[in-house]
Structure 1
Amino acid sequence: MLVRIAVADPLPVFRHGIVEILRDAGFTSETPDDLFAWVRDEQTTIVILTLRTDADWRTLEGLRRTAAGLVLVALLEQMSVGDSVRALRAGAACVMARDTSPAAFREGFRALVRGESLIPVEVLRALAAPEAEGAASGEPSPTERDWLRSLAGGVTVGRLAAEAGYSERMMFRLLRDLYTRMGARGRTDALITAQHRGWL
């Protein structure tokens, strides 16, 4: 199967290292400047994206909405269960530590090309349960925390909806459900509650 592969990381040396690791494993990859234009281009594509900043997380979610057949690999600065779950829910098919060894990277990438994903057991357990646990306690999911942070920063619901891939009406409904789950009377009350509980 012919697969197009893109590597996106802010450090040129790191990008080059991933390209070399992939070359050693028999894969050719590219480092496009405009990922969104690149994924709209052709056939099956894999994007390897480092997640370090909020903008990187938004890129991950945006790429997921851009091309249906796109396979996303998330490289995390700090490999944690929470960030792994967040990346998988945001559209990543595979999550690896940014400082993983070349051999482990090759193994994970080969599995991905075969249509499989190597996910740690503790991450699978968290994927199976946390939404219910969070909902019971009123605690927002990682995505919902991002929404609250954006609202606290002055982002409009319309813009938030566009970034999340929902209609504005659906976004209002999702936010209303979130506020209710948090025990808040509205947006301001929810943001105050989130600030007090350290969710922002």
Structure 2
Amino acid sequence: MFIRIAVFDPLPLYRHGIIAILREAGLSSEAPEEVFAWMDNDHFPLVVLSLQASDDWELLERLCRTRSNLLVIALLPDDAIATHVRALASGAVATLPREAEPSAVRATVEAVISGRTVLPIGVLRGLTSHDAATTPEPALLSPRELEWLRHLSTGATVADLAERAGYSERMMFRLLRDLYKRMRAGNRTEALLLAREHGWI
């Protein structure tokens, strides 16, 4: 199946720079206005997505929930291991800091297209270490997710939280389920206990 590549970044110059880098590698890409309208069922989609604001992180999770065959390469605001791990846990298949060299961008995109991924060794160790497997990092939770936990800790219901966050109750349940899974908690009570243990609430 033909692979379509889209580049999403708030800066037009940066978007066109990524497109030019990929063109030099013989890869065609585009910078559509809206990602969900761009995706269709006839093509295999690959998205290069910059993650800077909290809305970008939410978009990453929504994209990966919407299309199981979607490949997302996340361009990160920093090169911290926790940021890489958070993006991968949210559904990205590869990660790069936004200031990565053009050669690294090309190599990562080409690897993903061929069904592989490229990760820094430190990130791989962060993903597979005993500590990473048993203790969630605070950086893995967005400010909005921490706010959800704070509200839940006051006795708020999921319906209350959904209304406050602007989601349907069903979507709120799904978002919380994903959050608990990333925290390695089995339910709301375990998640709140973990959050208190780490001083997040």
Query: What is the TM-score normalised by the length of structure 1?
Result: 0.78
Cα RMSD after superposing both structures? 3.1
Alignment of 1:1-200 (within 5 A): 2-129=2-129, 130-134=131-135, 142-143=140-141, 146-152=144-150, 156-158=160-162, 159=167, 162=171, 165-166=174-175, 174-183=187-196, 193-195=199-201
Query: What is the TM-score normalised by the length of structure 2?
Result: 0.78
State the 1:151 CA deviation: 4.8
Contact 2:7–2:19 (CA<8 Å) still a contact in 1? yes
Secondary structure at the residue paired with 2:93?
strand
**For the residues of structure 1 that align with 2:171 and 2:101, how far apart are their CA atoms?**
37
Secondary structure at the residue paired with 2:57?
helix
Contact 2:54–2:143 (CA<8 Å) still a contact in 1? no
How many residues align? The count is 184
State the 1:101 CA deviation: 1.1
Comparing 34-43 with 9-18, which one deviates more in the overlay? 34-43
State the 1:2 CA deviation: 2.1
Unmatched 5+ residue regions in structure 1?
A: 185-189, 196-200
Distance 1:163 1:49, change over 3 A: farther
**Quick one: percent identity of the two aligned structures?**
33
Q: Which amino acid in 2 is paired with 1:149?
A: E
Cα deviation, 1:58-89, whole Å, max 9, x if unaligned, reads 00000001111000000012111000000000
Q: Which amino acid in 2 is paired with 1:194?
A: W
Cα deviation, 1:134-154, whole Å, max 9, x if unaligned, reads 16xxx6571376522345589
Unmatched 5+ residue regions in structure 2?
A: 153-157, 181-185
**For the residues of structure 1 that align with 2:2 and 2:101, how far apart are their CA atoms?**
25
Contact 2:82–2:139 (CA<8 Å) still a contact in 1? no
Distance 1:50 1:153, change over 3 A: farther
Distance 1:151 1:175, change over 3 A: same
